[in-house]
Amino acid sequence: MSITEEQLEEMLSRYPDKVKKNRKKHLILKNSAEACQQIEANTRTIPGIISQRGCAYAGCKGVVVGPIKDMVHIVHGPVGCSYYAWGTRRNKARADDTTPPEKVFTPLCFTTDMQESDIVFGGDKKLAKMIDQVVEIFHPRAVSICATCPVGLIGDDINAVAKAAEERHGIQVLSFNCEGYKGVSQSAGHHIANNNLMEHVIGKGTAEKNPDDYVINILGEYNIGGDGWELERILKDIGYTLNCIMTGDASYEKIRNLHIADLNLVQCHRSINYIAEMMETKYGIPWLKVNFIGVTATMASLREIAQCFNDEKLIERTEMVIARELARVTPALEQYRKICQGKTAFIFVGGSRSHHYQALLRDLGMDVVVAGYEFAHRDDYEGRQVIPTIKSDADSKNIPELHPTPDEELYQEAHVHLKMSKEKYDELSSRIAFNSYQGMIPEMKDGEVILDDANHHEVEELIRMIKPDLFFSGVRDKYIVHKMGVPAKQMHSYDYSGPYAGFNGSLIFAEDVANALVTPAWKLVTAPWEDQNRSRSDSNA
């Protein structure tokens, strides 16, 4: 069901005038007649409003730095800051040829557990002692210190503690002044993390690039539910050398050698664009925005990457892998599509997924009637980027054999499953290419709602007015929407599912969505506040 200006106006009319004026700029109806529809983003949340946003510490430690697997990340602050962020993001990591299992610290949680006496007398001695213990017990390759709010308030000098610890132990100790209150959201924390890693870690390694390889990094991919591993599978099959996924399942050493790539792919632009841009300036490495969420978007992104290198062999191999994958996943996807077709979705996530998942939901035939971001900036809502061209001597490049060996048979099979001729496939392919990154607002239809920094009142009202078939958001608003009789999926950690990226991920996502849509449970739900027979004593029982 679509929504009108009048309905939006009515929803906003509950606010005091000043608040209404502010929120009006963050809540707009898509109208393609307006040449440049503008939304206000990345501004301070109105005090007292229950925002869905996180803090700078969440963006720095939780998002960018935390997934580096062979470092110990010490949270300097009261225990709650680390405990409530422990394992909840589901950024997966495992041992690999350069990182043995005893050096993978991702499942662990380290904190100085500041107490009242530390607040009064300072927590720096406790922090220094903890670094000594961590080095002695765990032998990490490097250590990070992430500060939470009280550290900035009492003025503990974590930078001096880090410097002294580096001298004592001979390993790098990075200090992040990412106190939660900095900036207007977790976006400030991304920036703090990016700057520090760029200045002190990236480019410090001594690995050398093999000039015969096409070497790429994926920036802004955090391996939630194993997404990064699925992308690794596809990109390696095509013949790329994947230098580093930043920072999902990444090691400290790989990040030190991030600079030896030919191209940086940027999956989550919001959290990592600073590094992409700084690497372009410092090392001349171009970057390309990609979207590996959904079959169509993945295909388009793969084609764009091949296009950057402009090598016929690579372009052909890309088509082979796409055809093989389509042959595998399309039949099952078609079955789920029958269930999902025509259903509506409301999606509200951090700073990049609301756009990325639009592509996957469209693949399933669903309409995204409301889309928004917690903390995106204007450029995440708008526009796209020009595809860079990389000068390379294609003849000398090494593209290893594909396993399992691709063949004409598989390629043909793909066309059979798609029920189309080779000509049709080629035509479709050319149409899909170069369409993956239009931007969130340009890809929406007239009458759909764009929502920035939503709060509980607006989410509840929009759910009531629009009654979407599915709500995709976070844990804070998931359960109230359940109680309103609408199934809700956690789009940050994918509840307990995933991967959702790439071809295999599309299939898992489609299955999860179809399950949510067909379960009869939601029709049986009566919200406690709608149950007239429920007495006060019942609810207290």
55 is catalytic: yes
Nearer to ligand CFN, 267 or 318 (CB): 267
DSSP string computed for 391-418: ---GGG---PPPSSPP-HHHHHHHHHHT
Of 41, 58, 244, 516, which residue is the catalytic one?
58
Nearer to ligand CFN, 59 or 183 (CB): 59
Distance CA 225, CA 133 (A): 31
Binding of ligand CFN at residue 352 (CB under 6 A)? yes
Please identify which residue in the block is written with the tokens 């950057």.
308
Binding of ligand CFN at residue 23 (CB under 6 A)? no
Size of the site for ligand CFN (CB under 6 A): 16
250 is catalytic: no
Distance CA 329, CA 501 (A): 13
Tokens read off for 442? 């340009």
**CA dihedral sign, ordered 269, 270, 273, 275:** negative
Residue 263 near residue 279 (C-beta atoms within 8 A): no
Supply the minimum distance, in Å, between the C-beta of residue 89 and ligand CFN: 6
Of 55, 165, 276, 414, which residue is the catalytic one?
55
Binding of ligand CFN at residue 472 (CB under 6 A)? no
Nearer to ligand CFN, 26 or 89 (CB): 89
Contacts with ligand CFN in 59-98 (CB under 6 A)?
A: 59, 63, 89
- In the list 110, 176, 214, 222, the residue contacting ligand CFN (rule: CB under 6 A) is 222
Supply the minimum distance, in Å, between the C-beta of residue 218 and ligand CFN: 12
Contacts with ligand CFN in 264-323 (CB under 6 A)?
A: 268, 270-271
Query: Strands (DSSP E) along 336-448, which ranges?
Result: 344-349, 367-373
Nearer to ligand CFN, 214 or 471 (CB): 471
Tokens read off for 173? 């100790």
DSSP string computed for 86-114: SSTT-B----BTTB-GGG--TT--EE---
Of 252, 416, 397, 409, give the one whose Cα is nearest residue 334: 416
488 is catalytic: no
- Across the beta sheet with 172-176, what order do the strands follow? 110-111, 71-76, 142-147, 172-176
Supply the minimum distance, in Å, between the C-beta of residue 163 and ligand CFN: 29
536 is catalytic: no
Of 73, 76, 89, 303, which residue is the catalytic one?
89
- In the list 90, 169, 353, 478, the residue contacting ligand CFN (rule: CB under 6 A) is 353
Q: Looking at the annotation, which residues are catalytic?
A: 55, 58, 89, 190
In the complex, which residues of this chain contact ligand CFN (CB under 6 A)? 59, 63, 89, 186, 220, 222, 224, 268, 270-271, 349-353, 492
